[in-house]
Structure 1
Amino acid sequence: MSTSIEQHRAAAPRSVRCAVITVSDTRTAETDTSGALIRERLERWGHQVIAYAIVPDEADQIGQLLNEFLERPDCDAVLLNGGTGIARRDVTYEAVAARLEKRLDGFGELFRWLSYREIGTAAMLSRAIAGVARGKVVIAMPGSTGAVRLAMDELVLPELAHLVFEARK
């Protein structure tokens, strides 16, 4: 591993303050296993969940909530799950992409590659996306619990603090 990456990771915050958004027309706090998994994994890694919300698959409502979290000084990252497919109701990608100032194309590319190893060619249907908006990290992943587990364990958690460090520069 490169020395500069090691230095950046060493300088990264030990704990990241995160907001979690589940995009769904049907899930409730009791049935949102994917949102629960995100929160559990974040806390296990020593990060803080400063907010959690479920919002319907409506671009304006997703965007409004995302804007609220991006304006909060106590929020370093917003993690969304759900609404990243190609169905007519899947509008998370559009709501997130419209707000990103810098895209991390590698997140979606790596997620689909890892997903392909698990589910095959259906991985191409995912529109997982990540980037930076207003100096904060924004990551949108599919809503299935398996996809969330894959994204969190293989991509998000190993780099989240490093991403926040870089986004703050």
Structure 2
Amino acid sequence: MSQQEPAVGPDPRRAVVVTASTRAARGVYTDRSGQIVADRLRDWGFDVADPVVVPDGEPTGEAIRRALDEAPPPALILTTGGTGLRADDRTPEVTLPLLDVEVPGVAEAIRAAGLAKGVPTAMLSRGLCGVARGTLVVNLPGSTGGVKDALEVLEQVVHHALDQIAGGDH
């Protein structure tokens, strides 16, 4: 009887940041929100490369898929941008098919935090949260203020969520 290789789960120390912005990908302006996310994740103890900056739409889904295909994959993928109402804001649509299970409470809490700070447009964000192949994936807004508010919410639960995904207790 041959031994099977043990399954390799996500690297609990690693995170990937994907910025969905056609203009930033073309060099029209510098991505700021992705850098804010990467810097904060480093503060939280994650190993994070510079953000992957891609055009809105399917390139965002491809970037998420590439990160999930890494061996081992990251424990956490955060996207920023593409969650609004413009025709090219497609981050939720390219994220959803990759998710094994949704975690709607996180996305709801992110929107609620923005509203609580007096930002009525926070309710227009369509970002999702879920688990894909053992990796937590969260869509954040593209604005720097929205990203900062979302990170305040995530900081409270991200390590506990990752522990649960890896099989830890509640």
**What's the offset of the Cα at 1:160?**
1.6
- Residues 1:120 and 1:46: Cα distance change in structure 2 (over 3 Å): closer
Percent of paired sites with the same residue: 33
Distance 1:18 1:124 in 2: 26
Distance 2:69 2:154 in 1: 22
**What's the offset of the Cα at 1:120?**
4.0
* Larger relative contact order (Cα-Cα within 8 Å, sequence gap ≥ 6): 1
Number of aligned residue pairs: give it. 153
Larger radius of gyration: 2
- Residues 1:51 and 1:36: Cα distance change in structure 2 (over 3 Å): closer
**What's the offset of the Cα at 1:82?**
0.1
Residue number in structure 2 paired with 1:21? 18
CA RMSD in angstroms, aligned pairs only: 1.7
Higher-helix-fraction structure: 1
Q: Residue 163 of structure 1 is aligned with which of 152, 161, 164?
A: 161
Once the two structures are superposed, the pairs formed by residues 79-158 of structure 1 within 5 Å of their partners are 79-153=78-152, 155-158=153-156
CA contact (8 A) 2:33 2:142 kept: yes
TM-score, length basis structure 2: 0.83
State the one-letter code of the partner of 2:39.
Answer: E
Residue number in structure 2 paired with 1:67? 65
Stretch deviating more after TM superposition (20-29 or 100-109)? 20-29
| Unpaired stretches in structure 2, ≥5 consecutive residues | 1-11
TM-score, length basis structure 1: 0.83
Distance 2:49 2:95 in 1: 20
Distance 2:134 2:73 in 1: 12
4+ long deviations beyond 4 Å:
none
Confirm or deny that 1:31 pairs with 2:30: yes
